[in-house]
């Protein structure tokens, strides 16, 4: 069973929702954060990314950054941009982008579920990023950024979504910078949602591993969070996009020699454009041309070995270019699938990268298989879109 709890929450003042809510802190750079926060004094981005208010010479985790974050958070309360809920709440969240719609329930994930693996993980976390969120949470006495989780569809929960969507008045509605429409409702009967989730066998963190790990580290502190701020989506409604790779330098290989090495471990054929979004087909772009790198996974291999990102790392990037840790190697960069493959061409043609690899999107069934096997996905394997917007609901515990 999946155990969830209503949130002792601050919710956004609906009249200020467009001003307060913001993109997740970890998908924008400091410079991008500055641009988004410009002329928006009440944006939550000034809390989640308070480093945007400092010169680049100040580190993102400098003590004064957290003091500023707490000050900016206090301002949101003073200005009544965030308002306390009368009682712990569960929220229905809906995101619409073009023809795609996904809906989920915002609640607190149980710390016991996280510790036991009932709320399953598929990524490692970086200590520096985890420490940053822990320090921020302590300064705020609040969880501001939600984790995105998936669960096997349960018809009764879907019926609850349909009814709330059809009969309840939204708490707030915002169309974001990319045209995604975000709508949030209070659930009229949180206890019913809690009861129905007890029928769900297992849940999975899809996005937000650092946020989850940071909250869990504070579980025994007094005061501390009462759970992990999480939005649970039925698996059928989630959309996963690719995550591509840029190789900044091919040293010590010439392009010709590198292509020879690729041909030793993949079936390499010229391609007029990036290969189709299909498992077993990796694109390589360099010297102004696309190549298709084809391979076939062993049906007996484990779920991680069957991923295209694993094949690229284990066959080429690791043994040939000596990229031992994709998370930390300075020669490697990543491009989310939302940006498309044209960006890969532009990076290489402009000389910012020596080569680019396009990868097909990982299916949700592959992600769940890795999690169920207690294994870890390769770094930067999944890009979930659309992204949850922060600031509609916050778990204030101190």
Sheet holding 281-286, edge to edge: 267-271, 289-294, 281-286, 355-358, 243-247, 332-336
Q: Are 242 and 338 in contact (CB under 8 A)?
A: no
SS3 194: helix
Q: Are 226 and 137 in contact (CB under 8 A)?
A: no
What percentage of the chain carries pLDDT values higher than 70? 100
Q: Tell me the C-alpha distance between 339 and 324, whole Å.
A: 26
What percentage of the chain carries pLDDT values higher than 90? 84
Q: Tell me the C-alpha distance between 88 and 33, whole Å.
A: 31
- Overall average pLDDT of the 139-149 stretch: 97
Which residues face 334 on adjacent strands?
Answer: 245
The alpha carbon dihedral of 161, 167, 171, 174 has a sign of: positive
Cα angle: 369, vertex 215, 32; to 5 degrees: 85
Backbone angles phi, psi at 15, to 5 degrees: -70, -20
Q: Sketch the domain layout of the chain as residue ranges.
A: 4-240+385-396, 243-360
Cα angle: 6, vertex 8, 12; to 5 degrees: 105
Q: Are 132 and 262 in contact (CB under 8 A)?
A: no
Task: Assess whether pLDDT exceeds 90 at residue 109.
Answer: yes
pLDDT at site 349: 96
pLDDT at site 337: 84
Exposed e or buried b per residue across 333-351, where buried means at least 16 C-beta atoms within 10 angstroms of its C-beta: bebbbbeebeebbebbeee
- Overall average pLDDT of the 154-180 stretch: 97
pLDDT at site 325: 87
pLDDT at site 173: 98
pLDDT at site 125: 85
H or E element, residue 371: helix 364-372
**Tokens at 50, concatenated:** 């308070």
- 336-378 tens-digit pLDDT: 888 889 999 999 999 999 999 999 999 888 888 888 888 888 8
Average pLDDT of the chain is: 95
Which one has a higher pLDDT value, 340 or 154? 154
**Best CA proximity match to 29, nearest among 17, 21, 37:** 37
Count of residues in the chain:
398
Residue 332 burial (C-beta neighbours within 10 Å; 0-12, 13-18, 19+) = buried
- 14-37 tens-digit pLDDT: 999 999 999 999 989 999 999 999
Task: Assess whether pLDDT exceeds 90 at residue 143.
Answer: yes
- 195-215 tens-digit pLDDT: 999 999 999 998 999 999 999
β 240-241/281-286 pair status = unpaired
- 263-310 tens-digit pLDDT: 999 999 999 999 999 999 999 999 999 999 999 998 888 999 999 999
Of 54-63, 339-348, 377-386, give the lowest mean pLDDT range.
Answer: 377-386
Q: CA-CA distances (angstroms) from residue 92 to 2, 27, 78, 154, 191?
A: 17, 23, 26, 15, 14
Q: Tell me the C-alpha distance between 392 and 126, whole Å.
A: 27
Q: E strands, 3-71, where?
A: 4-5, 9-12
User: pLDDT band at 381, cuts 50/70/90?
Assistant: confident
> Could you report how far apart the first and last alpha carbons of the chain are, in Å?
29
**Tokens at 179, concatenated:** 């045209």
- 77-97 tens-digit pLDDT: 999 999 999 999 999 999 999
- Overall average pLDDT of the 43-58 stretch: 98
The string of DSSP codes covering 236-284 is GG--EE-EEEEES--TT--HHHHHHHHHHHSEEEEESSSPPS-TTEEEE
Task: Assess whether pLDDT exceeds 90 at residue 40.
Answer: yes
Residue with tokens 């007890």: 198
Q: Tell me the C-alpha distance between 169 and 188, whole Å.
A: 11
Q: What is the pTM of this model?
A: 0.88
DSSP 307: S
The string of DSSP codes covering 201-224 is --EEEEE-HHHHHHHHHTTTSSS-
Assigned CATH topology for domain 243-360: 3.30.1760
Q: Tell me the C-alpha distance between 59 and 54, whole Å.
A: 9
DSSP 50: G
Cβ neighbour number for residue 320 with a 10 Å cutoff? 16
Cβ neighbour number for residue 138 with a 10 Å cutoff? 17
User: pLDDT band at 73, cuts 50/70/90?
Assistant: very high
pLDDT at site 123: 79
């Amino acid at each position: 069973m999946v155990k969830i709890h209503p949130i002792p929450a601050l919710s956004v003042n609906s009249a200020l929702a467009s001003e307060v809510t913001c993109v997740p802190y970890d998908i924008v750079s400091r410079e991008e954060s500055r641009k988004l926060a410009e002329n928006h004094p009440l944006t939550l981005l000034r809390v989640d990314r308070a480093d945007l208010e400092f010169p680049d010479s100040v580190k993102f985790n400098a003590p004064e950054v957290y003091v500023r974050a707490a000050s900016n958070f206090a301002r949101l309360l003073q200005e009544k941009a965030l308002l306390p809920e009368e009682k712990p709440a569960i929220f229905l969240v809906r995101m619409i982008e073009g023809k795609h719609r996904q809906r989920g329930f915002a609640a607190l994930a149980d710390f016991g579920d996280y510790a036991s693996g009932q709320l399953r993980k598929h990524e490692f976390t970086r200590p520096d990023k985890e420490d940053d969120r822990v320090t921020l949470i302590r300064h705020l006495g609040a969880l501001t950024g939600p984790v995105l989780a998936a669960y096997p569809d349960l018809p009764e929960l879907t019926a609850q979504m349909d009814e709330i969507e059809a009969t309840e008045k939204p708490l707030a509605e915002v169309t974001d910078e990319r045209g995604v429409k975000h709508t949030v409702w209070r659930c009229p009967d949180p206890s019913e949602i809690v009861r129905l989730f007890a029928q769900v066998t297992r849940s999975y963190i899809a996005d937000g591993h650092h946020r989850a790990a940071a909250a869990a580290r504070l579980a025994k502190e007094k005061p501390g969070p009462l759970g992990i701020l999480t939005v649970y989506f039925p698996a059928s409604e989630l959309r996963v996009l690719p995550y591509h790779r840029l190789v900044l330098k091919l040293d010590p290989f010439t392009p010709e020699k590198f292509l020879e090495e690729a041909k030793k471990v993949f079936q390499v054929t010229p391609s007029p454009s990036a290969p189709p979004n299909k498992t077993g087909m990796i694109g390589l772009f360099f010297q102004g041309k696309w190549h298709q790198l084809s391979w076939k996974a062993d049906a007996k291999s484990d779920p991680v070995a069957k991923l295209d990102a694993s094949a690229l790392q284990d066959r080429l990037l690791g043994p040939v270019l000596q990229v031992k840790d994709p998370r930390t190697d300075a020669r490697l960069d990543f491009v989310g699938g939302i940006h498309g493959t044209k960006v890969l061409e532009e990076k290489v043609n402009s000389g910012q990268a020596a080569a680019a690899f396009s990868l097909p999107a990982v299916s949700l069934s592959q992600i769940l298989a890795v999690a169920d096997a207690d294994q870890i996905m390769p770094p930067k394997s999944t890009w979930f879109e659309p992204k949850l917007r922060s600031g509609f609901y916050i778990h204030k515990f101190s």
